[in-house]
Amino acid sequence: MMDAHDLPRSRMRILRPFRRRTDVSQRRLRRGVYLLPSLFTLANMFCGYACIVYAMRGEFATAAPFIGLAIVVDMLDGRIARMTGTTSAFGLELDSLADIISFGVAPAILSFSWGLQPLGRLGWAAGFIFVAAAATRLARFNIQSGSLDKRYFVGMPSPAAAGVPAATVFAIPWGFQTNTEALPVLAMVILPALLMVSTIRFRSFKNLDFAVRRRYPVLVLIAVFLALLAAHPQTVLVVLAYGYLTSAFVELIWHRLRRRRDHGEPADHVAATDTHAL
């Protein structure tokens, strides 16, 4: 049986280029797969940067949708990394830095240019509170990921918190010019900031069941949502942003009422048993 050393040198030279081309193409494909989530993260960062630029120019109707686009891109980069098996510590750190820009600095500057500017120092202090809360929320998420219930977020997620001022500005793009008009903007900025660093649980919707038997109703609901979004985008986005903000309080009240009812049933059962025994 001939060994590789016994093959003619001319034949070895013919085979080597093909092997090298295959190896190079595989390495390029592998690099492309690993770069794909980072490209989405850079797109997220670009959306935050574009929002800041347009907000500083006073073009609020153009600036606000960039935060919504950043939310969509941020949802995709993590899913793509998990689907392709390309998750890494570098990607996690880059994603957090991009989120601070898109969901911390960009909403703060957008809110300040849009409605907090008449308040002066109080306005930019409120914007800084939002930035600090977003950074704290992201840092806490990074160290707690993997050890918490996947069904819930501890504290309001920074993309959802950024969606509150973004949806409000998109619905009312003309802004405010007086101190009286600017006072409600403080609540729009500070309330999501406090919820980000709170321990209130928000639904993550990661455990939604998209089984085959439920695929068609889900598709119909998505179609209805897209139709409403195309017809009335401002109204739909405001309802979506503030609805998610209030959903945590509704669920918290529901769980407390249910807990009281569950604790009250044993006492009623004991009283009924004692009455029957008498």
Enter the pTM of the model.
Answer: 0.79
Answer whether residue 107 shows pLDDT above 90.
Answer: yes
**pLDDT score recorded for residue 237:** 94
User: Structural domain of residue 133, as residue ranges?
Assistant: 32-208
pLDDT at residue 52 is higher than 90: yes
More confident site: 99 or 24: 99
In a domain, 215, yes or no: no
Cβ(68)–Cβ(240) under 8 Å? no
Decide if 156 is inside a domain: yes
**Helix (H) or strand (E) segment spanning residue 271:** helix 233-277
User: What does the mean pLDDT of the chain come to?
Assistant: 82
Place of tokens 């897209």: 226
Task: Assign residue 142 a region (left: φ > 0; alpha: ψ between -120 and 50; beta: otherwise).
Answer: alpha
β-strand pairing of 201-203 with 152-154: antiparallel
- Decide if 97 is inside a domain: yes
Domain annotation covers residue 62: yes
Q: What is the pLDDT of residue 272?
A: 45
Q: How many domains does the chain have?
A: 1
Residue 252 predicted with pLDDT over 60: yes
* Residue 75's CATH number: 1.20.120.1760
In a domain, 261, yes or no: no
**Which pLDDT does position 271 carry in this prediction?**
43
Show the 3-state SS of 220-269.
HHHHHHHHHHHHCHHHHHHHHHHHHHHHHHHHHHHHHHHHHHHHHHHHHH
Residue 276 in this model has a pLDDT that exceeds 50: no
Q: What is the pLDDT of residues 188-231, one digit of tens each?
A: 999 999 999 999 999 887 665 555 455 667 778 888 888 998 99
Q: Is residue 7 part of a domain?
A: no
Whether the predicted pLDDT of 160 surpasses 70: yes
Residue 96 within any structural domain of the chain: yes
Whether 166 and 211 have beta carbons less than 8 Å apart is answered as no
Per-residue pLDDT reduced to its tens digit, 119-139:
999 999 999 999 999 999 999
Percent residues over pLDDT 70 in the chain? 77
Q: For 161-188, what is each residue's pLDDT tens digit?
A: 999 999 999 999 998 878 888 889 999 9
20 has a pLDDT exceeding 70: no
Whether 188 is covered by a domain: the verdict is: yes
